[in-house]
Amino acid sequence: MILGLDISTSITGATLLDKDGNTLLCQAWDTRNKNHFKNIYQKADHVSTELGILDHEFRHQIKSIFIEQSLQSFRSGFSSAQTLSTLSRFNGIISWICYERFKIDPEMIAASTARKLCGIKIQRGEKAKQKVLDFVLDNVEGFEVEYTKAGNPKPGSYDRADSWVVATAGLEVWKQKNSTS
């Protein structure tokens, strides 16, 4: 099985795929401050608990873990240095928790690489999150999204979709590494 994580300090997406690419689990773990998480350590503890549940349910079946690489540079109109630093720290904490719990070295994969491996093309000016969500809705059986009264996807929808892309791309990387050609 392949575990794909889209780590964020607000909502972490997690997808588990079998070796044939079937989705066994696709969840969003909410660690927003409104849920009384005061710092990244409490958030990490919550994610650790969720990973523990996966470990218990799928004991010794997870063979690889792929994590969306955190942003490495500034882009005008996007995250500040402090936000990038916090996200990078959180990503590192969760990566370590994965290693400790599963005894697997998590592999980082860039969002653009993951999308490319899944066949998702983002044109200049298009909203990547929405394109990914639309792709997953169109291509993944059983993937459903709830919407707000305003017609927007409820929180966690984009994170679940992103984690599916990371897991699916990870499965392709895993297959390439383990092919007997």
Looking at per-residue confidence, does 178 or 105 come out higher? 105
Beta bridge mates, 14: 5, 27
pTM for the full predicted model: 0.90
- By three-state DSSP, how is residue 57 classified? helix
Contact 165, 26 (CB under 8 A): no
What value does the mean pLDDT take over residues 43-70? 92
- Structural domains of the chain in order of their starting residue, each with its CATH number: 2-178 (3.30.420.10)
Closest to 5 in 3D by CA, of 100, 113, 107, 153: 107
Sheet holding 2-6, edge to edge: 23-30, 11-17, 2-6, 64-68, 107-109
In a 13 Å sphere around the CA of 148, the CA atoms on its Cβ side amount to 7
Concatenated DSSP letters for 1-44?
-EEEEE--SSEEEEEEE-TT--EEEEEEEE--GGGT--SHHHHH
Contact 165, 114 (CB under 8 A): yes
* Each residue's pLDDT tens digit, 118-173: 999 998 888 989 999 999 999 998 899 999 999 999 999 999 999 999 999 999 99
